[in-house]
């Protein structure tokens, strides 16, 4: 009942903010909802107890007791990734497979260590003693681009198709690498002695990533075959829902990447399944259903990101290190894209405009917040949460609102 109550409140607030945004503010829906939630959080935080104390107390309780990590990483992310992947053209991904693979693996590792090194170096200037292992942990959780934020913003931005494919493809696949890195580093922070070797990390990565992809391919193929034998849009929707919900249960039970399972299954059903097995009517209903799911869950997610401000204990005093962290993350993103572009023999060399857009279009979002919230309560959790919040809000609001204008200004042709 409490979970139903929590979602009911979030849905009511999301629909109210979405209406106000569409009627008056006219920003992209997710950004408008998040900004209104942030403004509401600021009002509640500074004046709520004196103006409406009972409502303020209930909202604080709702946000603090809501398990954002479990709900996002265990449920919402699977639906959102599947909804995004089912609309991606596999031929486009195949054409840009080398840069997508490179940016979703090598670039994440480079960015993790660059962020860690720079943050470790500058934090003493702000009277903050942050151990290097926690700087590395922050680097791992903030380096991957967020598929939810990226796919939602790019749909409305004037970005060339080839570049959109690179950014969206990278964001869909880099979660596996990031989650493995984060999990390994988190274990190092929580244990006095833990045997971590190259072989153990490699096996964990292969098991998580390759296992998730294989399971997703299998589920997508089985579902597509099932869809081939029917022509009923209701049953087709139910089958895709079972792939997402049942697929996550299987992935969770055998300890492989649920997000990558959803991406692979969505790509197979969205390409092979739609092309070979579905009538136009079924295809239309399926597309509209998953577009609706995508929009509703995005609204709830960005609403909650806005209200996360209520949980940050010392945001005002950490604004300086938060601002520096934004610069560090952007610089690390630049190096993580630029270095592979010099070394890896990509078919087309990236122009300066393409590099600019790959850097500016790499948005951070709810996945980073979910990862930092998954940490055990400790000395550095609040600090890392506050820094992460600064980076995520800047990424979604400033980068998200300007990515279309930046694309037009740099005149990208590739």
Question: Are the C-beta atoms of 281 and 233 separated by less than 8 Å?
Answer: yes
For 155-183, what is each residue's pLDDT tens digit? 667 677 788 888 888 988 887 778 778 88
Tens digit of each residue's pLDDT (9 = 90 or more) over 12-48 = 999 999 999 999 999 988 899 999 999 999 988 888 7
Give the number of other Cβ atoms within 10 Å of residue 338's Cβ: 16
Other Cβ atoms less than 10 A from the Cβ of 29: the count is 19
Whether 59 and 98 share a structural domain: no
CA distances 320 to 273, 279, 386, Å, are: 50, 56, 11
Q: Euclidean distance between the first and final Cα of the chain, in Å?
A: 51
Same domain for 84 and 183, yes or no, is yes
* 305 belongs to a structural domain: no
Distance separating alpha carbons of residues 147 and 365, to the nearest angstrom: 8
Query: Residue 242: inside a domain, yes or no?
Result: yes
Question: Are 269 and 390 within one domain?
Answer: yes
Cβ count near 306 (within 10 Å): 24
d(CA 298, CA 325): 25
Contacts of 352 by beta carbon, 8 Å cutoff, 6+ apart = 410
Q: Is the pLDDT of residue 341 over 70?
A: yes
Q: 54 and 88 share a domain? A: no
- Residues 270 and 373 placed together within one structural domain of the fold: yes
Report how far residue 414's alpha carbon sits from residue 92's, in angstroms, rounded to the nearest whole number: 13
Average pLDDT over residues 357-361: 91
Mean pLDDT across the chain: 87
Task: Output the domain CATH number for residue 168.
Answer: 1.20.1530.20
CB-CB contact of 82 with 244 (8 Å): yes
Within-domain flag for 304: no
Given 11, 30, 65, the domain boundary residue is 65
Instruction: Please give the pLDDT value at position 121.
Output: 96
DSSP codes joined into one string, 37-94: HHHHHHHIIIIIHHH-HHHHHHHHHHHHHS-HHHHIIIIIHHHHHHHHHTTS-HHHHH
Q: What is the pTM of this model?
A: 0.89
- Cβ atoms 102, 340 nearer than 8 A: yes
Domain boundary residue, one of 13, 35, 65: 65
* Cβ-Cβ contacts under 8 Å for 273 (sequence gap 6 or more): 220, 223, 224, 227
Distance of alpha carbon 263 from alpha carbon 170, whole angstroms? 11
116/245 same-domain check = yes
In this structure, are 59 and 88 located in the same domain? no
Q: Provide the domain limits for residue 18.
A: 2-65
In this prediction, residues 88-93 reach a mean pLDDT of 87
Average pLDDT over residues 362-378: 88
Residue 313 lies in a domain: no
Number of folded domains that form the chain:
2
């Amino acid at each position: 009942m409490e979970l139903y109550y929590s979602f009911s409140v979030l849905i009511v607030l999301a629909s109210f903010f979405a209406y106000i945004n569409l009627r008056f503010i006219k920003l992209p829906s997710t950004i408008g909802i998040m900004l209104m939630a942030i403004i509401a959080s600021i009002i509640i935080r500074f004046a709520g107890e004196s103006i409406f104390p009972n409502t303020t107390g209930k909202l604080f309780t709702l946000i603090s007791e809501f398990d954002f990590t479990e709900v996002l990483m265990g449920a919402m992310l699977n639906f959102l990734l599947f909804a995004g992947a089912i609309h991606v053209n596999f031929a486009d991904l195949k054409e840009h497979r080398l840069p997508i693979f490179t940016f979703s693996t090598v670039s994440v590792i480079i960015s993790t260590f660059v962020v860690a090194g720079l943050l470790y170096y500058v934090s003493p200037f702000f009277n903050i003693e942050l151990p290097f292992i926690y700087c590395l942990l922050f680097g791992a959780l903030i380096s991957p681009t967020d598929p939810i934020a990226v796919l939602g913003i790019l749909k409305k931005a004037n970005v060339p198709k080839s570049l959109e494919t690179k950014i969206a493809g990278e964001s869909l696949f880099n979660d596996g690498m990031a989650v493995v890195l984060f999990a390994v580093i988190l274990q190092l922070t929580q244990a006095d002695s833990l045997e971590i070797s190259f072989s153990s990390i490699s096996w964990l990565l292969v098991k998580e990533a390759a296992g998730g992809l294989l399971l997703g391919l299998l589920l997508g193929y089985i579902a597509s075959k099932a869809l081939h034998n029917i022509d009923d849009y209701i049953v087709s929707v139910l089958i895709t829902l079972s792939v997402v919900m049942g697929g996550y249960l299987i992935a969770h039970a055998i300890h492989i990447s649920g997000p990558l399972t959803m991406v692979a299954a969505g790509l197979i059903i969205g390409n092979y399944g739609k092309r070979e097995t579905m009538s136009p009517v079924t295809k239309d209903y399926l597309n509209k259903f998953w577009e609706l799911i995508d929009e509703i869950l995005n609204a709830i997610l960005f609403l909650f990101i806005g209200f996360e401000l209520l949980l940050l204990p010392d945001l005002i005093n950490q604004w300086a290190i938060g601002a520096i962290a934004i610069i560090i993350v952007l610089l690390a993103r630049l190096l993580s894209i630029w270095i592979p572009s010099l070394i890896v023999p990509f078919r087309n060399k990236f122009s300066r405009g393409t590099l600019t857009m790959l850097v500016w279009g790499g948005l951070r979002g709810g996945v980073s917040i979910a990862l930092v919230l998954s940490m055990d309560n400790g000395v550095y959790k609040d600090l890392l949460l506050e820094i992460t919040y600064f980076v995520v809000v800047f990424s979604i609001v400033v980068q998200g609102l300007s990515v279309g204008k930046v694309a037009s200004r740099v005149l990208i042709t590739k």
